[in-house]
Amino acid sequence: MAGKTTLLRRAAAMEAAMWRSLYRWARRTPAALEPGDEAFSYVGVVKPILGVLIGLSVVEIPILDLIIKHVVPWQPARLIMLAISAWGLLWMLGLLASLKIHPHVVGDNGIRVRIGAGVDFTVPWPDIDTVSKRYRSMPSSKSVQIEDDHGRRVLHIVVGSQTSLDVKLSRPVTVPLPKGESEPVEELRLYADDPDAFVRKARLPRGAFGRTTSSILDS
């Protein structure tokens, strides 16, 4: 029973986050950034797919309404299907909005990793060893995946079944995830549309990030 309650709470929180994201996107509210922070999008790899699905939904709604109007002689059925179809369209728009308004951020505090409104954690610079560009294809499209890679526990934050950045950590760290705190991980792999710019930002002189130790970020 407790598990079902937790699942319902997570679903409700996700639904509310979608609507908030859609509202912010519609108002063109920019991502909140501190001085020196830089945002990095990860939407490019999934934007075409979402665009197609949204376009199909827009076309489907009037067609489905026309079919129900002539096949089902019950007005409430038509209204119910219209409401469900409209909700589905708005949900997909909300998903796209949540991805666009919650970018990754590189700044003074470290690397802030996000996937929509569901994944949001920051790895501080003292815990980061190296940052490098490397494209990887993942066998699963799940946005959060943990695997053992040659004895190292790796956390993958996946977009479109891909990652494009490897962040090796100086020590095992735990991070908050949608299902709770992760196990200690020694490496983080994530996706950004422009990994070269991401690495360049991470390689800025240490004074730009307020670090007290020498930077060992490499490409």
Token pair recorded at residue 153: 């526990």
Higher pLDDT, 208 or 90: 90
**Rounded distance, CA 53 to CA 92, Å?**
8
Sequence ranges of the domains in the chain: 105-208
Token pair recorded at residue 72: 């089902």
pTM value is 0.82
Higher pLDDT, 43 or 203: 43
46-104 pLDDT per residue, tens: 999 999 999 998 998 888 888 888 887 778 888 888 899 999 899 899 999 999 999 99
Q: How confident is the model at residue 112 (pLDDT cuts 50, 70, 90)?
A: very high
Q: How confident is the model at residue 17 (pLDDT cuts 50, 70, 90)?
A: confident
pLDDT of residue 219: 34
Burial (CB count <10 Å: 0-12, 13-18, 19+), residue 26: exposed
